[in-house]
Structure 1
Amino acid sequence: MRCRDAATGRNSRMAKLAFLGLGVMGAPMAGHLRAAGHAVTVYNRSPAKAEAWVARHGGDRAETPREAAADAEFVMACVGNDDDLRQVCLGDDGAFAGMQKGAVFVDHTTVSAAVTRELAEAARGAGLGYVDAPVSGGQAGAENGQLSVMCGGDADDYDRAAPIIDAYARICRRMGEAGAGQMTKMCNQIAIAGLVQGLAEALAFAQKAGLDSAAVVEVISQGAAGSWQMANRHKTMAAGEFDHGFAVDWMRKDLAICLSAADEVGASLPVTALVDQFYKEVQGMGGGRWDTSSLIARLTR
């Protein structure tokens, strides 16, 4: 049976899928898969979230990753960190134990390239495909099916998975072998860190100088300073509203991955290292769950 993806207009075969992890990103992504016509079984560490998702979208829920992955052609995951990912993949109750040979595991978690390569090797040993596919676009991108998806892995595995990923992707691209998707996501986080800090400083400066920050942004956003962060976050930053988007705690997790990888490849990330410490200050202010745009809070307190 064929289904048509509303975002891309491409036809893809309806598949049996599993989705592991129903947080603010995973739940809407899994919902797009159901809306695209796929058969989806979900797993979440907190069963109540899985029950609520099934009540809203249909499909099925499973008690373990292994049960969710049984007979699935593709298993998607969007969990918290390296350890969480190992837990849902490996062991007697892990997804790899339940997947049929030839099935493809697609990891949307932002994790280290090291754990990606470790799990990709374990998947190959079990006769499985593995695609690391971290995403960018935040909660709004997940809800609207407009995520940027950067992938690593075998080309054949990617080609099979890409039509499935299309259900929630604005762009999906293979960047290289296993780990390349995660390394590309690191580039994304490095760029965002500097952009948000620059915007925070510009807005704080405008306020101190007695300027209308909205008028300032209206003018400078049309020139070389314009960015997604400026267009989408300047109003809430100026108002001190940080209860949306990607949390500081998760950004620090990602930046730690970036800084560790930079040591491995011999790259210098002085701005990223500095902004990481600024986020540490925000955590000290009680802002660990604030959106990453909260960098301005340490400049205006």
Structure 2
Amino acid sequence: MKIGFAGLGHLGSAIAQHLIAEHMELTVWNRTTGKAAGLGVPVANSPRELMDGSDIIIMNLFDSDAVDVVMNGPDGLLSGDCRGTIIIDTTTNHFERVLAFHEQARGHGARYLECPVLGSIIPASAGKLTVVVSGEKTSFDEAKPVLSKIGSTLYYLGEPALATKMKLINNLVLGSFMATCAEAVALGEAAGVERARVIDILLSGAGNSMILSAKKEKLVNEEFSTHFSSALIYKDLHYLQDLCRTMRRPLFIGSTVKEIFAMTRSREIDDLDFSAVYRIFKEI
């Protein structure tokens, strides 16, 4: 099976490298071609070229604007012969725009699966992400062997946009936990307790969570190389606000957390790992 892979950011690169390690036949494309260096696989010159000869296309892009360009641009995936090809989109999209992507793919004879993933670089490197899927069941069944290389847990939700909505809801918890843990660490330090000890105590009590465990070393060492950026969680919480508006529901915690991560933008640290939100609280 020939797989085309578009998008070699932090998470995309981790997924692609794992698929290569699993001996899957990959051709890759990235807007910045240098990110493909060292993968040891063919590099396409455009999304259209990536589509040619691929049985499955995997996308991992920043947002729905990027997906739109890669799918519908002059040299986009859908500009070539894509009949029968399955497009697996692991991007966290806007819940309304993802519906258009389903229709656009169908209109060109391709099959689109929205497959946002839960998890970051470390589980991605081991093929242990969680994948939430919406789209046609027959396409999901056909793509399952590839999806199972990406994630150890798959949830098939079926109805278009439902997987995207669930991912945004998941990231309400993700962003809120990270912001709360960061504030708690900064408060503990300000109260006079050593940072590493604050984190250990939190992990032994109410702060015991996958998120704090995963970010412990980053917080202790203030080393915020990017696994999942503040820019991404800010974008996702903005999409979630749009979802709640259409549902006529308030978003109390998520709206506040979004504005906390907006402060990383004003300080120009939003390209760092989202655990760097700790710096916002430390400055107070």
Q: TM-score, normalised by structure 1?
A: 0.87
Paired residue for 1:28, among 7, 14, 17? 14
Change (3 A) 1:205 1:28: closer
Ranges of 4+ aligned residues in structure 1 off by more than 6 Å: none
Matched residue, 2:282: 300
Change (3 A) 1:113 1:237: same
Give the superposition deviation at 1:192: 1.0
Question: Is this contact kept in 2: 1:109–1:133, CA < 8 A?
Answer: yes
Q: Distance in 1 between matches of 2:220 and 2:250?
A: 31
Q: In the alignment, does 2:61 pair up with 1:79?
A: yes
The letter of the residue matching 1:187 is: I
Q: In the alignment, does 2:129 pair up with 1:147?
A: yes
Change (3 A) 1:240 1:36: closer
Paired residue for 1:68, among 28, 50, 60? 50
Question: Is this contact kept in 1: 2:11–2:227, CA < 8 A?
Answer: no
Paired residue for 2:186, among 201, 204, 224? 204
Q: In the alignment, does 2:257 pair up with 1:275?
A: yes
Q: Which moved more, 1:97-106 or 1:262-271?
A: 97-106
Give the superposition deviation at 1:208: 2.1
Question: Is this contact kept in 1: 2:230–2:274, CA < 8 A?
Answer: yes
1:35-93 superposed Cα distances (whole Å, 9 cap, x missing partner): 3232211111122333x14xx333x2211111111131111111222121111111442
Give the superposition deviation at 1:99: 4.2
Give the superposition deviation at 1:224: 4.3
After superposition, where does 1:1-301 map in structure 2 within 5 Å?
15-50=1-36, 52-53=37-38, 56-58=39-41, 60-301=42-283
Question: Is this contact kept in 2: 1:68–1:95, CA < 8 A?
Answer: yes
Q: Over aligned residues, Cα RMSD in angstroms?
A: 1.9
- Percent identity for Structure 1 against Structure 2: 26
The letter of the residue matching 1:33 is: L
> SS at the partner of 2:96?
helix
> SS at the partner of 1:17?
strand
Question: Is this contact kept in 2: 1:31–1:57, CA < 8 A?
Answer: no
Q: Distance in 2 between matches of 1:91 and 1:285?
A: 33
Give the superposition deviation at 1:257: 0.9
Question: Is this contact kept in 2: 1:72–1:99, CA < 8 A?
Answer: no
Q: Distance in 1 between matches of 2:30 and 2:234?
A: 24
Change (3 A) 1:286 1:163: same
The letter of the residue matching 1:94 is: G
> SS at the partner of 1:221?
helix
Change (3 A) 1:297 1:49: closer
Question: Is this contact kept in 2: 1:42–1:61, CA < 8 A?
Answer: yes
Question: Is this contact kept in 2: 1:16–1:71, CA < 8 A?
Answer: yes
> SS at the partner of 2:226?
coil
Q: TM-score, normalised by structure 2?
A: 0.92
Q: Distance in 2 between matches of 1:239 and 1:49?
A: 27
Q: Which moved more, 1:212-221 or 1:99-108?
A: 212-221
Q: Distance in 1 between matches of 2:8 and 2:167?
A: 21
Question: Is this contact kept in 2: 1:282–1:295, CA < 8 A?
Answer: yes
Change (3 A) 1:91 1:299: closer
Question: Is this contact kept in 1: 2:87–2:111, CA < 8 A?
Answer: yes
Change (3 A) 1:280 1:39: same
Question: Is this contact kept in 2: 1:203–1:238, CA < 8 A?
Answer: no
Matched residue, 1:5: none
Give the superposition deviation at 1:216: 4.0
